[in-house]
Amino acid sequence: MKNRIRILKGKYNRIRISDCVFTLLKPLDITKGKVTAIVDASELLGPEYAIVAIDVEDYKLID
């Protein structure tokens, strides 16, 4: 499993995410064409967002 993901286009609740790098906590979940990434978003959104699920439209996995 790759450790980091670069989300080029995605959404967390109503927050648009674009061109950000996160640490992956679990492997990507791909169901019915929808990609969900469980990531640590505390650097971007604050310490209370240590574990979030982002709906991903475009991404790139990073070593």
pLDDT tens string, the chain, 63 residues long: the values are 679 999 999 999 999 999 999 999 999 999 999 999 999 999 888 999 999 999 999 999 997
Contact 36, 54 (CB under 8 A): yes
Contact 53, 6 (CB under 8 A): no
For residue 10, which of 57, 62, 61 has the smallest C-alpha distance?
A: 57
Residue 1 is predicted with a pLDDT of: 65
